Amino acid sequence: MLKSKRSNLAIFVRAGLPICCFIVGGSWYLSKFVETKVEIQDKRSNKSVSTRKFNLEEERRKMLEKLDIDNYNLSRIPRPDDGNGKKVETRPK
């Protein structure tokens, strides 16, 4: 019985432990590699940042100026079933 436990332990040390170390180490290395890659991409993309302060009320006022809520027409949007009992195909098969 003692010999079989040593045998199992030896198999684990020779095969299982290196595989476990490889998996854990590879995962750690890949996470660092991807993190570095993302940081480099962030540094390269110098997106312009607006210096104007965002004000929700001002944006609402601008949208209401563009929108004419007094003059509008109600129109029916056609449905996939066009009314004569035939179903109209909305997306190709």
Residues 3-12 pLDDT 10s: 677 788 888 8
Q: Is 15 a member of any domain?
A: yes
For residues 70-86, average pLDDT: 73
Confidence of residue 85 (pLDDT cuts 50, 70, 90): low
Torsions phi, psi for 77 (to 5 deg): -85, 130
SS3 content of the chain, % helix, strand, coil (to 5): 60, 0, 40
Rounded to two decimals, the pTM is: 0.39
Q: Which position has the higher pLDDT, 87 or 14?
A: 14
Q: Quick check: is 19 in a domain? A: yes
Q: Specify if 90 maps to a domain.
A: no
Q: Which residue has the tokens 């609402």?
A: 60
* Domain that residue 14 falls in: 1-43
Assigned domain for 73 exists: no
Six token digits for residue 73: 């027409």
Identify the residue whose tokens are 């590879």. Answer: 26
Q: Tokens 């996939």 identify what position?
A: 80
Into how many domains does the chain fold?
1
Q: What is residue 91's predicted lDDT score, i.e. its pLDDT?
A: 65
- Residue 60 falls inside a structural domain: no
